[in-house]
Amino acid sequence: MNVVKSTIIDKYFKIWAIVIPITSFLVIPSIQGTTPAYILALLSILMVHVLTKFKGKGSDYICDLLFFLYVYIFINLIGQFYLSFDGKFTPDFSTVSLIDNSDVSTTVLRKSMFTQSLYLLAAVATFVFVKNFYKQHWDKFLFLGACILGIYGVYEVTYFLLFHENGDFISNRTFDGTHSGSLFQTISIGSLVLQRLKSLTGEPSMYAFTVLPYWIYAIHKKRTFIHLFLFITLMLTTSTTAYIGIVIYILIRICYFGIKDKITLFLIVIGLIVCLFNWDFISVFINATILEKLSLGNQSGIERFMSFKSHIKFYESLPIFTQMFGMGFGVVRSTDMFSTLLVNNGIIGFVLFTLLFFYPVFKLKNTYQNIGLKAALIVLYFSMMISVPEYSYLSTWLFLGMAYNMIQKQNIAYNTSYTKSNLKITG
């Protein structure tokens, strides 16, 4: 691939990287999925073909893309094939959260399977693009996108403090034509009412899910100002997802660097100082944002638990073969990825999804940057399994692609070193 084509790919991704975190703005408001990032993701397939003619890295790109498509089609076809011949099985969809609530009778080849597949295609296109073309200097544009998202979120929180109303003037995404795709939520802590930071994402937990890997990666790229800023925004979400993600990251750092690690101590000390100077406020805050959810003391925690329970019960009622391969991609959406995956794609789908995230964790060498990527993937995986059943956020696939790209470079470096050593011996 010549320098001109490589430059075009660079410029294309730099624009794409800035808008990857944005999910509540649609280029065409009447058409779901037309976020700037999704459009650029789908167009990237055509762009790679035009620029590379699927030669060199372009060949690797198309092989990766086709491999994903083959695996996806294979798993879903097997599951749908079985369901089409099992006349005795009639699922009771009334107990689960269907993606397409208007259809409660179709079992095979549901419409949502095809519509949701377009989102997955955009996600996979992002993954294989980054896996094959990622360069280190792209990082500043990744961080720029995350910081823009964070700045807009801080603006919303500040606007609410000043004027006591929603200041979001960009989000235009809606579901079913009526429900906003970016929820306005507040939290009362004593007499103080705060808007929960969500920026240009669906809700505070989605902001946390989006920004956690950027925050972790910024720490491991030693971008001090950026990771401190993103940390503050994560705290302002008052989201259980953010706090659990931070705790998981601290535990990962302890495993790699010990309890005396500077970043670990910094995070712990900050927490202790805040608690020491305003314990009454902090105790109310922790109770309102975490403990009540975990103990089912508020509506959100109860709803999540009941959703998980009903989807697991539905999964247990499925035939053994369907438990292996699922009902089909995009049928249900629980409040957690674990039960969502089991119902939609069965044990096989769950295992493959888990391997996708943990292969780089075991394969990458333990450089400081690589440990950041590993930690980001672990936090993303457990965030999804516990509380964010969102497979199509492109930030997730961005970091997956970066991790697999580093594995490729690691293998190339090893093979080059091995070849040189052999030449010395034979010479």
Distances (CA, A) of 175 to 105, 123, 290, 399: 22, 20, 28, 28
- Distance, in Å, from the CA atom of 199 to the CA atom of 184, rounded to the nearest integer, reads 10
Per-chain mean pLDDT for the chain:
86
Q: Which amino acid is at 308?
A: F
Strands annotated E in 186-229:
186-189, 192-195
Task: Look at residue 287 in the predicted model and tell me its pLDDT.
Answer: 57
Check residue 418 and give its pLDDT. Answer: 45
Q: What is the pLDDT of residue 302?
A: 67
Q: Is the pLDDT of residue 247 over 70?
A: yes
What percent of the chain has pLDDT above 90?
50
Phi, psi of 371 (to 5 degrees): -65, -35
Domain boundaries, position 145: 3-426
Q: Which of 46-55, 70-79, 199-208, 234-243 is predicted with the least confidence, judged by mean pLDDT?
A: 46-55
Name residue, tokens 């059943």.
389
| CA neighbor of 405 nearest in space, from 148, 61, 30, 76 | 61
Question: Which residues are CB-contacts of 183 (< 8 A; sequence separation ≥ 6)?
Answer: 198, 202, 203
Of how many residues is the chain composed?
Answer: 427
Residues 104-118 have a mean pLDDT of 85
| Phi/psi at 420 (5° precision) | -65, -40
Kindly report the pTM of this predicted structure: 0.90
Dihedral sign, Cα of residue 286, residue 202, residue 327, residue 353: negative
CA–CA separation, 258 and 252 (whole Å):
9
Residue 92: count of CB within 10 angstroms of its CB: 9
Q: Which amino acid is at 355?
A: L
Say whether pLDDT at 189 is over 70.
no
Nearest to 17 by CA among 115, 149, 181: 149
User: How many structural domains does the chain have?
Assistant: 1
Question: Could you tell me if 181 and 173 are in contact, meaning their C-beta atoms sit under 8 angstroms apart?
Answer: yes
**Does the pLDDT value for residue 347 go beyond 90?**
yes
The CA-atom distances, in angstroms, between 210 and each of 150, 201, 204 are: 11, 8, 10
Tokens 């660079």, residue located: 10
- Which of 133-147, 301-315, 322-336, 411-425 reaches the highest mean pLDDT? 133-147
CA distance 346 to 385: 14
Nearest to 151 by CA among 225, 263, 36, 233: 233
